Amino acid sequence: MTARPGDRVLIAMSGGVDSSVAAALLVEQGFDVVACFMRLGSPGEAVGGTTLGHRGCCSITDAGDARRVAAILDIPFYALNFADDFEQIIKYFEDEYHAGRTPNPCVRCNDWLKFGKLHDYARSIDAQWVASGHHARIAMVDGEARLRRAADMGKDQSYVLFGAAGIPNLRERQLDSMLLPIGDMTKDAVRDKAESMNLGVHAKPDSQEICFVPDDDYAGLLERRSPSRFTEGSMVNTDGEEIARHQGHQNFTIGQRRGLGVAMGEPRYVIDKDPSTNTVTLGVLSDLDACACNARESSWHVEPSDGWTTCTAQVRAHGEAVPARVRPLPNHRIDVRFEQPQRAVAAGQAVVCYQDDLVLCGGWIDAVERAR
């Protein structure tokens, strides 16, 4: 289906410059635009027992900015209270850290809320399309919509959309009803467009990730929610010899170097965590090299082949996509092999595979094969 002027489009507005310009472009193109702000909680507000930080992308201040832009564009504006649903994101974050993994709540928020709950709401108001201000593009390839990297590679967000746009567990392809109006624009062009239209958000700073973690203190958040789950444990070397004690494996992430509380003559890094024994393993930098990873909950954007497919693979939102190959495994899993060892690949992260600038597939890493 092709979007046509007059179609009803629900635009997710965060109060930032990207979604504001996306809405403006849709209005200019003749769509019947309905603005929707997802109310997840305000800075200082308690959501599910967690006090939100001061960097949230969905606060009362942001709601006011979005409402003013909608008024300038003369489009309906609705604020939906998703605070209860947002608790699911915080709970996921908490559970992943306690399980020794490195979570990405921003990707999950896209999957479950922005292109999950919001699609449900769109259907309830007879909107054929859901749009957002993400820096990514949709390309038609052999008659099918495909997710493509943004024109501004420095701002590309296709990585965080892999689950929302793919076919996880044969679920409906949300990509077929998505619009990404600013994907062909650079960030500077987006800001220039907002300024030319006298949108007050044209100079507003980009929102920061993990809006519910004050001051980036992940362990502090977890300890406030579940203090009994933090217990003293062993910090060991690669031979399993104890070299120090720690106050909970949740205080550490794979690849961490600073704040370890040990001095061993040369730099040491967290290379493994075992939540079942509350053990943190330290090693040298090369111990972080990974040659492969397995991922669950895979989302394929094309029909997968039975064997290996050449691709590039990216394991962090702002990381580099490196030469690799990928194959499907049973139970909606994928096996990704890197052409060269990659550093600090961690369980809990997303791995997204590309062919040229098109998303091929992605999944959630739950096993990492170290290079040695």
Task: Say yes or no: 110 and 246 in one domain.
Answer: no
Task: Tell me the pLDDT of the chain (372 aa) as tens digits.
Answer: 688 989 999 999 999 999 999 999 999 999 999 999 988 764 455 444 445 444 455 667 888 999 999 999 999 999 988 877 888 888 999 999 999 998 888 888 878 887 778 888 999 999 999 999 999 999 999 888 899 999 999 999 999 999 876 544 434 567 888 999 999 999 999 999 999 999 989 888 877 667 777 567 888 888 888 999 999 999 999 999 999 999 999 999 999 999 898 888 789 999 999 999 999 999 999 999 999 999 999 999 988 988 999 999 999 988 999 999 999 999 999 999 999 999 989 999 999 999 999 999 999 999 999 987
d(CA 272, CA 30): 53
Identify whether 225 is part of a domain: no
Identify whether 158 is part of a domain: no
Task: Say yes or no: 62 and 204 in one domain.
Answer: yes
Residue 43: per-residue pLDDT = 45
Contact 130, 12 (CB under 8 A): yes
Local structure of 225: helix, strand or coil:
helix
Q: β-pairing, 333-343 with 289-300?
A: antiparallel
Identify whether 145 is part of a domain: no
Residue 53: per-residue pLDDT = 47
Which residues are CB-contacts of 324 (< 8 A; sequence separation ≥ 6)? 311, 312, 313, 336, 337, 338, 339, 353
Local structure of 34: helix, strand or coil:
strand
Task: Say yes or no: 16 and 114 in one domain.
Answer: yes
Residue 365: per-residue pLDDT = 97
Task: Say yes or no: 306 and 236 in one domain.
Answer: no
Identify whether 259 is part of a domain: yes
Active-site entry in 36, 109, 293, 353: 109
Is 109 an annotated catalytic residue? yes
CATH number for the domain that contains residue 336: 2.40.30.10
Task: Say yes or no: 19 and 98 in one domain.
Answer: yes
CATH number for the domain that contains residue 99: 3.40.50.620
Residue 165: per-residue pLDDT = 62
Residue found by looking up tokens 């909107």 in the block = 127
Task: Say yes or no: 208 and 78 in one domain.
Answer: yes
CB-CB neighbours of 270 under 10 Å: 24
Task: Say yes or no: 247 and 336 in one domain.
Answer: no
Identify whether 98 is part of a domain: yes
Task: Say yes or no: 247 and 117 in one domain.
Answer: no
Residue 170: per-residue pLDDT = 36
Identify whether 223 is part of a domain: no
Task: Say yes or no: 113 and 211 in one domain.
Answer: yes
Q: What is the pTM of this model?
A: 0.90
CATH number for the domain that contains residue 268: 2.30.30.280
Identify whether 166 is part of a domain: no
Residue 208: per-residue pLDDT = 63
Q: From 103, 106, 128, select the one nearest 33 (Cα to Cα).
A: 128
d(CA 250, CA 275): 8
Active-site entry in 211, 293, 353, 361: 211
Task: Say yes or no: 66 and 199 in one domain.
Answer: yes
| Domain encompassing residue 293 | 289-370
Identify whether 168 is part of a domain: no
Task: Say yes or no: 249 and 349 in one domain.
Answer: no
Cα of first residue to Cα of last residue in the chain, in angstroms, is 49
Task: Say yes or no: 274 and 295 in one domain.
Answer: no
Is 211 an annotated catalytic residue? yes
What's the total number of domains in the chain? 3
